[in-house]
Amino acid sequence: MKAIYSCSIKRNFIYKSVLTISTYLINFLVFPYISRVLGVEKVGLVGFVDNTINYFLLFATMGASLLGVREIAIVKDDLKKRSRVFANILGLNILFTFTTLIIYLALITAIPKLHQYSELFYIGSAKILFTVLLVEWFFTGIEHFRYITIRSLFIKLLYVLTVFIFIRNPEDYKLYFVMTVGVVVFNAIINIFYVKDFVVFGFRDMFSQKYLKQNFSLGIYSIMTSMYLTFNVMYLGLTTDNVQVGYYTTAFKLYSVILGFFTAFTNVMLPRMSALLAKGDVEHFQRLVNKSFSIMSVFSIPMIACSMILTPQIIYVLSGSGYEGAILPMRIIMPAMLFVGIAQVLAIQVLMPLKKDKILLYASILGAIISILLNLTLVFNLGSVGSALVLLCAEFVVTIFYIRCLMQKYFVRLPFRWLLNGVFCAFPSILISILFGYIIINPFICVGVVMSIMAFYLIFLYKKVLLKQLDC
């Protein structure tokens, strides 16, 4: 049985940063190639199917990914309790997964739009089935980020190699989707064998209903939140065509990459924040909240400014010609990064450790209602632009709700001065983007030069601000 070692937040974030940056680089290697080989229609089709499956995944996992991290973090140093919590949450995950899978297969047959692409949806059922074995929440809860990073990098590299070797023409879109699903399958197989080194598995504990209420509450929160993420693409595909989905998927790509950095950060902080509150160390908790806001603003605002100025060049580099319809959606989407950054800090690093699941649930329901109403009124007429507006508005409303709740009811103080830090740090990126955007005509050279300069600039901020802030 392996022992649990607690690394510093700095080291954990370095591991997650390596993983996130590698994902960023892989996306910028694979997506431009796939966009050009498959074309906008096939990219849109695969995006529609994959996002629809991801929506069902939310019902399959419910709140396991969030609940598991929080509860495992609290008991990670006790083998007996750790094993029991693992079995409890895994059992609930299996129950929800198989129920969801039955409904999923029935809907593929019943709904014409889904049945039209039934072969892809049947392939995607493996993604739903194997996600229950992924148990990434366990390794996050014990802060084993070194393992997560090494394993993920290995499988991602295999994925990249197979894509470039085997995907050659638009008719290979099915094979491409198989490879995408295969990433989840291989990660799950490795994880479920490795987790046995950290827990003593007992089938009796799987049938406990101890976490059922919390799991259900956090699951509804995840599902409602996805109404303005995953559901947007699914609804867009149902009401328009694959071309519009292709535009939105392309516009969303950079947003999702940057979102990965925020997710990496909050994934690192959640177990630590949960452990601090369990020990009653409120002062240290507040200090980390302040640091999180500072870090988020310093990185997000410069990236937003840079991407909005160079949107045409970025779209061309990502997808080539024929994707001009993605320019406006991307410019609408990118400011949402500021709101989602604030929301993630408040939700995952503050409210989740405080176990204020009801606030998370109410916020997600509010966001879902806004999303549904705007989807019904905007998407049919505006297509991908409408979906982008839905995302921006929903994220803004949810963020305001979180801020209001925390300011009124809880001990946590929100350091609003962090915005000034972010704006100040954004000025160099704005000047760099404007200067090279006009001077360099070739989009590849322009984006390459700006990205290189921004990389050095962000590395500088990383060393001067982030690592210093996380030295705890």
What is the per-residue pLDDT across 324-339, written as a single tens digit (0 to 9) for each? Answer: 888 899 999 998 888 8
Other C-beta atoms closer than 10 Å to the C-beta of 78 total 12
Query: Whole-model pTM?
Result: 0.71
Q: Is the pLDDT confidence value at 249 over 60?
A: yes
3-state SS assignment for residue 296: helix
- C-beta of residue 144 within 8 angstroms of C-beta of residue 168: no
Residue with tokens 């629809």: 52
Q: How confident is the model at residue 3, as a pLDDT? A: 53
- For the chain, the residue count is 472
Q: Is the pLDDT confidence value at 305 over 70?
A: yes
Hey, what amino acid is at 385? V
Q: How confident is the model at residue 424, as a pLDDT? A: 78
Q: Is the pLDDT confidence value at 28 over 90?
A: no
9 confidence band (pLDDT: 50, 70, 90): low
Q: How confident is the model at residue 465, as a pLDDT? A: 57
| Residue 62 φ/ψ region, left for φ over 0, alpha for ψ in the -120 to 50 degree band, beta for the rest | left
Count CA atoms closer than 13 A to 447's CA, side-chain side. Answer: 16
- C-beta of residue 269 within 8 angstroms of C-beta of residue 9: yes
Residue with tokens 């080989």: 37
- C-beta of residue 271 within 8 angstroms of C-beta of residue 141: yes
pLDDT cut 90: percent of the chain above it: 13
Q: How confident is the model at residue 99, as a pLDDT? A: 92
Q: How confident is the model at residue 233, as a pLDDT? A: 76
For 36-84, how does the pLDDT look when each residue is reduced to its tens digit (9 = 90+)?
Answer: 888 888 888 888 888 889 888 888 888 787 788 888 888 888 888 888 8
d(CA 419, CA 413): 15
What is the helix, strand, coil percentage profile of the chain, to 5?
Answer: 85, 0, 15
Q: How confident is the model at residue 126, as a pLDDT? A: 93
Residue with tokens 């779209």: 315
- C-beta of residue 218 within 8 angstroms of C-beta of residue 63: yes
For 77-94, how does the pLDDT look when each residue is reduced to its tens digit (9 = 90+)?
Answer: 888 888 888 888 888 888
Q: How confident is the model at residue 222, as a pLDDT? A: 78
| Dihedral pair phi/psi, residue 201, rounded to 5° | -80, 130
For 328-384, how does the pLDDT look when each residue is reduced to its tens digit (9 = 90+)?
Answer: 999 999 988 888 888 888 887 788 777 787 888 888 889 888 988 898 888 888 888
- Maximum Cα–Cα distance for the chain, whole Å? 67
Q: Is the pLDDT confidence value at 144 over 60?
A: yes
For 210-223, how does the pLDDT look when each residue is reduced to its tens digit (9 = 90+)?
Answer: 777 887 777 887 77
